[in-house]
Structure 1
C-alpha cells in the first residue's frame, strides 16, 4: 500500500477525532430534544415507531451509527431493538445494522489506512491484533475475539480492513460470532417489553457479570488466543 503524503497522513489521522468532535457538538446543541427522546424506553419506542413503516430503517441506521462511532455501548441499541420489535425482528434488524456498520468500518480502514487507524486503536494494540491474522489458520483466533465481552469489536472492524482479510468472509464470520451477545441483549429488551421482569433482571445481571469479567480478564483472554494463533501459525 502506497504511503500517503504528509498532508494526507495528517488528514487521515484527524478524520476520526474530528468526526467525534462534530458529533459531540451536535449532541450538545440538540441535548434537550435528544434527552426527551432517550430518557426512557417508552419515549424511544414512541420516537422510532413515529416513523411508521420506516421505523425498522431508522433503527438500523441507529445501530449502524453505534458501530461506526462505538462510543455508545452496542448493548444499548440491541436491547432497544428487542424492546421495540420483539425478539426475532429485533435480532435480525440488529444484525443487519451491525453488519452494515462493520462493512463501513472495514472499508474505511482499507481506504484510509494506518494513519487513520492509529486514531481509532493504539499502535501497540494494532501490532498485537495483527498476529491474529498472520496466517489463514491463525484467523480462527481473530474471529473468536468477536465472541468475547469487553473486546472492542467495532474498532477491530476498522483494523480488519487494513489487514489481509477478504470482505465477505469477514462480514459473515464476525456477524456470526457476535450473535451470542446480540441474542442476550435483544432477549432482555423483549422481556422488558413483555413485562417479564424476572427474566429481564436475570439476563441483565448475567450480561453485566460477563461484561465485567470480559473487561477484567481481557488481557489474559487475548494472551491465550494469541498463543493459539501462534501455534496455528507454526
Structure 2
C-alpha cells in the first residue's frame, strides 16, 4: 500500500472517528450526562469488568492510530468512570499506547511514520531530531504540556537514540499533568456549557 493511500485511509477513519465522537457527545448531552454523570455511568454499568479493559484498549489504539480525538476520549474516561478511576484508566492506556508508538517508530522507522502522519506534520517536527540532547529536552517539555502533538512526537522519538528507559520515564512523569488538564478542562467545560444552554 502506498503512503498516499494509507494516509487517505487513515484520514477517512479519523474523520469517521470524529463524527462518531461528535454524535456520542450530542447523545450524552441529550441524556443529561453533563448535569448528572450517573446517567453515563449507567450506560456502561453492565460492563463492569470489560468496560475498563475496552476503554484502556481504545486509549492504546487512539495513541498509535488517531481514530478519535484524544481530548474527547480523555474526558469520556472521567465522565464514565469518575475522576479517580477515569484518570487511572486514561493513564494506563495512554502510557501503553505511547510505549507502543515509540517501539513502532524505532522498529519500522520512517516508512511507517510516513504512513501514520502527514508530510506537513512530519516536516514541522523532523527538525527537532537534529540535536539529540535538545530533542530530549523539547520532548520532555512537550509531553508535560497539554498542547503538543504527543502521538507524533512519540513516533518520532523512535527515530532518535533516546533509550527506552529515558522515554518511559518522560512518559510516566509527564503524562499525568496532561491527562488531568485535558480531562478536567473538557469535563467541566461541558458542564459549564450545559448550565448555560
Say yes or no: TM over 0.5. yes
Deviations 1:63-113 (A, max 9, x none): 112212225322211111111222221111111000111122112212221
User: What is the CA RMSD across the aligned residues, in angstroms?
Assistant: 3.5
- TM-score, normalising length: structure 1: 0.62
Aligned residue-pair number: 181
Structure 2 unaligned runs (5+)?
Answer: none
> Is 1:37–1:47's contact at 8 Å kept on the other side of the alignment?
no
Which of 68, 72, 78 is 1:76 aligned to? 72
Distance 2:191 2:140 in 1: 25
Q: 170-179 or 87-96: which moved more?
A: 170-179
Residue 168 of structure 2: which of 171, 174, 180 is its match? 171
1:159 equivalent among 156, 161, 166? 156
Alpha-carbon distance in 2 for matches of 1:186, 1:27: 17
* Of 75, 96, 100, the match for 2:92: 96
Where does residue 60 of structure 1 map in the other structure? 56
Q: Is the 8 A contact 2:143 2:178 kept in 1?
A: no
How much does 1:36 deviate? Answer: 6.5
Q: Given the superposition, is the C-alpha separation of residues 15 and 84 from structure 1 closer, same or farther in structure 2, using an over 3 Å criterion? A: same
Larger radius of gyration: 1
Q: CA deviation at 1:49?
A: 3.2
Instruction: Give, in angstroms, the shift of residue 116 of structure 1.
Output: 2.2
Cα gap change, 1:151 to 1:201, in 2 (>3 Å): closer
Contact 2:18 2:67 in 1 (8 A): no
Partner of 2:145: 148
Structure-2 separation of matches of 1:38 and 1:171? 36
Three-state SS of the structure 2 residue aligned to 1:162 is: coil
Partner of 1:117: 113
Q: TM-score, normalised by structure 2?
A: 0.71
Listed as ranges, the gaps of 5+ residues in structure 1 are: 1-9, 193-199, 206-234
Counterpart contact for 2:14–2:66, Cα < 8 Å: no
Q: 1:77 to 1:145 in 2, by over 3 A?
A: same
